[in-house]
Each structure stands twice: as C-alpha cells, then as structure tokens.
Chain A
Amino acid sequence: MRKNKKLMTFKRIDGSLIEKEINLKKKSWDKNDWILFAMASLSIIFLAVFAYAPLYGLILAFKGGDGYLNIVKAIQEAEWVGFENFKDFLTDPDFKDIILNTLGLNILQLLINFPAPIIFAILLSELLSDKFKKSVQTVTFFPHFISWVIFGGIFLSLLDYDTGIVNTLFVNIGIINEPIDILGGEEFFWPLIIITSILKGLGWGSIIYVAAISGIPNEQYDAAKIDGANRWQKIRYITLPSIAPTIILFFILSIASILNNGIEHLWVFQNANNITRSEVLDTFIYKYGIPKWRYSYATAIGLLKSIVSVFLLISGNAILKKISGRGIF
C-alpha cells in the first residue's frame, strides 16, 4: 500500500462490508480530480479565445490599427495614437445625435418595456379562466419565436406607404386624411421600435413573473380576502412584494444593458430617411467597424460604451442595495 492511503472498512446498508482506499493527504490529485479539472477547463479554452482575446484586443482603441485583419499583427505593428480615436468620435458631427438616440431609446424602453411584462403577468394572474390564460400565453409567446427579420418584414408590409393596412384602411375609414410615411419619417422611429418590441416581447418577458406569481401561496390571498382586501390591495400588498426580488434582479440587468440597442431589431427598420433618429452606438460601431475597416476607431467607441455600462451596472446595484437592501452582488 502506498503512503498517504489507508484501507478503511465501511458497512453497507444491507450489512455487507466493503473495503475502500481513503486518501489521507488532501492535496494530491486522483483521477477524478483530473477529469473534473479537464471538464471545467473546457470553459477556459473557449473563453480565452472568444472572450479574453477580444478584451486584449481593446488595446487597438489606442492604436492606429485600421485595416489590419490579423489582431496580433494589428496590435504589434500599429503605432500608438493615444486618445486620438476617442477625440475623433467626440468631435464627430453625428456624435450628439447618436448619444441622444441611444439614451433616448433605452430610457423609453426602461420606462415602458420593463414594467409592461410585470403588469401583463399580474393581469394574466387575475384572469378567471385557466384555460383562457393558457391560450393567451400560447398566442403571445408566438412572436418571440419568429426572427426580427420576419417580424420586421411583416411590419414593413403593414405600414407600407402605398399598400399597408394603416395607410389604406385608416384613410378609407377617415381616421387619417392622407397616408403617413411611418417607415420613412424620423419622428416615428422611436414609437415604432417601442411598439414592435412590446408586441414581440411582452408574452415571453412575462414568463418569469408569471412563474414568480404562481409561487405565491394561495393562503395569503385567502387570508387577505377574509380581512376584506379588495383586488387592488391584494396586488399592492401581496403580489408586488412577493415578486420584488425578481423585479429588482431584472431591473439591474436592464440598467447594465442600457447602451445596448438590439441591433438585429433596429437594423430591419433603419433606412436612409430615418437615420437621424435611428443611428445608435451599436449600428454606428458596426458601420465603421466592419464594412469601412476602421477597426481602431470602432474599438474605441466600443470601449467607451462598455466602460459606461459597467459603471451603470455597479452604481445601479449600489443604489438599489441602499434603497431596498437587495442587490445582485
């Protein structure tokens, strides 16, 4: 027998005895430790290439590496330019518009699209018939399963200037006097984005709150009913406090993503006519970074963006911790 190992006898439930080697020295690795380590290392291999290498690539933001296709070469060969790329962006004539659009769209989404699924879930839980509730859920889930291309394509045809239902039916009925160019008008872009993301995401977004509400014990509602609480009081004093942890968690996460506009969503609706209200950081980074080969410039904008989001995440978490005593870290 080797050192650090001891043969011990165990008694099984059925009374038979079993002998097993027990490792006394904790630090030596046995076969299973190696297997587990190898399994966990798969994540390191993946993240090293697809998460940490791009992080290292952020150095490009301080270099003049436009046009290099190999990231190692770009970082090694390109010369340092300091904060030149950031300066370029801050003095860009479109800078104000882009920041306004990014923040405006996201704050609107936070104010409208964040509470909407919560309200929807509460309304769902107030429905009398369970069968009807299930069919509502099924139908409202459906838009989540189709892509933004299809969903956007459907809306492009609904709102089309010549043939869309809004511009033909509403004119015929007399709600509006003449066709409106909704897709080409810059003032319609923000409402369009908000409405489409509500239609696509409301049912799906409410799942988590529906799950949280269904976890509330029924006795609480029964007790409240005996005490004479009306529907609003039940929602206010039982439902909302019970799902508050879920709400806070998702609120912090959505604050952190305040600078991310779903690019797949915006891209379908963006066109040359509404560009002043539809250009956001994400689309701008894509346009400069990929087709125009201005890698360093786009990296610098991306770096600015992620610094602000991390700052928002940490401060949002800190504020909520102070107010409610709960945070995510």
Chain B
Amino acid sequence: MKFIDNMNPKTRSRLRKILTYITISTLIFVIIFAYLSNIEIDEGTPQMYYTLDIIFIAFVIVFPIVLTPTVLVIISDTKYIKETTKHIRKSKLNKHIHTFDVLNFSFMLIFMFLCIFPIFYVLAGSFNQGADYAIGGVYLLPRKFTFENYVVVLKNPALWRGYFVTFARTFIGTSTALVYTSIVAYAMSRKNLKFKKTFYWINLFTMFFGGGLVPYFLVIRSVGLYNTFAVYIIPALYSVYHMIIISTFFRSISNELHEAAYCDGANEFRIFWQIYMPLSKPILATIALWLAIGHWNAYFDTMIFTNSPSLQTLQYFLLKAIQTATLTEGMPPEMMMRLSPKTLSLAAIIISIIPVLFFFPFVRKNFQSGIMIGSLKG
C-alpha cells in the first residue's frame, strides 16, 4: 500500500490505465466463457464443453489476482487527484441538477443505445446457427453458438475479391483525389492567378447545374471508362466542394511564408508541395477521411458503371447477399438445412464492418477539429 502511495504520480496514472484495461478484458473473458460453457453449441462434443469449463475456471481464478492491484492503484490515485484538485473542485459544487438535465441525460442514453444496439443484434445473429435463428427470438446473445456462418462466408472468393477492390479503390482513390484537388485549390487560393474569376465561375457553375445520371453514364461509356477499375478513381479525382474548403484553408496560411520561399527562388509548385501541403495537415486529413468514407461505402457506381464480377466492391457484394440469397447458392442440401441466408449475411455484415471499427477510434479525434476549421471558415 505504501509502495503505491509513494510512486511517481505519472507512472501511477499510467499503471492505472494499463491495469484497468487488463482487468476489464479479463472480466469480459470471464463473462464470455461463463456464457459459452453454459450454452448449447452447434455440433458440440463433450470434450469441447469440458475445455470451455476449464478455461472459464482458469479465468475466474485469474480475475481476483488481477483485480486486487488495480483496485489498490485506483484508490491511491483517486486520493491523490482529490487532494491536488481540491481548489478547483469546490467551485463546481454550486451547480444544480434540474429535471431537464436528467431528461436530457436519459434521452442521450437512449439514443446511444439505439445507435449501438443494432450492432450487437447483428453480432448475436451472426454467431447463431441458421436454422435455430429462423425460429426468431435471438436478440443480444446467440442461442445456438456456431462459427459456421463465418467459415462459410470467409470461404467465399467473391468476398475477398470485393475486399481487395474496395481497399484498392479507397487507397488509390483517396490519395490521388487529395493531391489533384489540392493542386487546384492552391492555384485558386493565390491572388496572382490569371483569369481567376473565370476559373472560379466555371467551377461554381457545376455545383448547381448538372447533366444528370444518364448523360453522365453515357460520357463515362464514351471515354472508355466503362467496366474498368479506373472508373472508381478518375471520375472521383476532383470535387469543387472540397476544392473550396481546402483553398479557404490555404488562404489562411500567412503570405509571408510564400514570399520568403519565393525570394529564395522556389517556384509556385514547389511552394505548394513543400510548404503549403505540410502546413495543411489537419484539413487534408479531414478531406481524406471524407473521401475514404465515400470510397469505402459507395456501391452505386459498381451497379451502374461495371458489369464484370472482378470489379465488384465489398458493398455491392453485401447488397447482393442481403437482397438475394447469393451466399447459399450452389450449396449441398444437407448444409442448406442448417444454414440460413439471413445469418450468413449477418456474418458478412460483421466482417465488412471490422475495418471501419478498427479505423474509427484513430480518426475520431482528428475529424472534429478539422471539420470545425472547414466549417467556420468555409
């Protein structure tokens, strides 16, 4: 106890974080295995149940061993924080909590639940055996546990092809569009651009008037982009809206930097590439995020501009899996008895959400600040 109290506060708070993570994940494992060892598993053997029981008991033994130091560290850390922030905390005491605050708080909780619950629902369904799912009533936890849905979906070559195409288009499409759009944005942000007004109006006009779907489709066909991978990249190279946001940011960068580089003999392109681009990381990150989401989630261009299966994106694969029973096509009848297209498509949904889930926490911090810059100035 004394040893913890005498620790360096910084190390202690770091230790607190690490220990909390470990404890929480152990707890989650305890719950998962407590659940797994008590549930009916599809085609489960006694040996499997036995192993699960042992793993569960092992985690139950480990849990208190992890929990004790965590609690000790947390107690001493909170004591320390309470003592050091006494003077700040006092001023907070005169805040009253009204009925409105309670209502507001509970509304937010409900809304958060509505946003999150569908994911858990899908997760439960995707681990449930197909024939059992068809009876209904699987909400939060699978009733008849199985990995079979995932095995079947992961064996599907179309899924992997879709994954590959989507990854490629997201990566190539985002980086090329970002560079192309910021090149134009830089030129438009310079006062000494000749014919600036003409450029501006030619760009702005297209924001409000468009040819519509069919002429656009015919143009794509006429220039030879139909049914090529480039149809995902080239028509998405440039967007007037993004150009305006980036160029507003470029304009806010102090002109003295430009003058200094100009005096040192750098030409405009070099100034753009070596000074303006590195200085605009927050806004570029935001735009890159928007572009990447757009590429990752798009499916209509696959539907319109391609017809060969090798160009199908992940989202289009999913659309077909959800709307028609493509995932159970050509299966032997005894497998069809156990599997249902519903649980298979749920497993496919989870598999395609995983990259987004992984990506989400990393970008979350960045985009809010970036959007503020873009929105307030733009």
Contact = CB atoms under 8 A, between A and B. Distances in A.
Is this pair of chains taken from one and the same complex? yes
Interface of A: 18, 20, 29, 31-33, 35-37, 39-40, 42-44, 46-47, 49-58, 60, 68-72, 74, 123-124, 126-128, 132, 135-150, 152-158, 160, 162-165, 167-169, 172, 199, 202-203, 207-208, 211-212, 214-215, 231, 246, 256, 263-264, 267-268, 282, 285-286, 289-290, 295, 298-299, 302-303, 305-306, 310, 313
A211 B376 contact: yes
A231 B211 contact: no
Interface of B is mostly: helix
Interface string B145-165: 000000000000000000000
Ranked 7 nearest A-B pairs via Cβ? A54-B211, A302-B212, A57-B215, A147-B297, A39-B187, A40-B187, A54-B215
A150 B184 contact: no
B360 interface: yes
Contacts, number: 276
Contacts of A285: 212-214
Contacts of B192: 32-33, 36
Interface in B189-231: 190, 192-196, 199, 202-203, 206, 208-219, 221-223
Nearest to A141: B364
B187 to A, nearest CB: 4
B187 A36 contact: yes
Contacts of B208: 256, 310, 313
Contact of B186 (A39, A203, A215): A39
B138 to A, nearest CB: 7
Contacts of B304: 286, 290
A58 B215 contact: yes
Interface of B: 95, 97-98, 100-101, 104-105, 107-108, 111-112, 114-116, 118-119, 121-122, 125, 133-139, 180, 183-184, 186-188, 190, 192-196, 199, 202-203, 206, 208-219, 221-223, 235, 237-238, 240, 243, 263, 267-269, 272, 293, 296-300, 304, 315-316, 318-319, 322-323, 342, 345-346, 349, 352-353, 356, 359-360, 364, 368, 371-372, 375-376
- Interface of A (DSSP majority class): helix
B214 A39 contact: no
A181 to B, nearest CB: 14
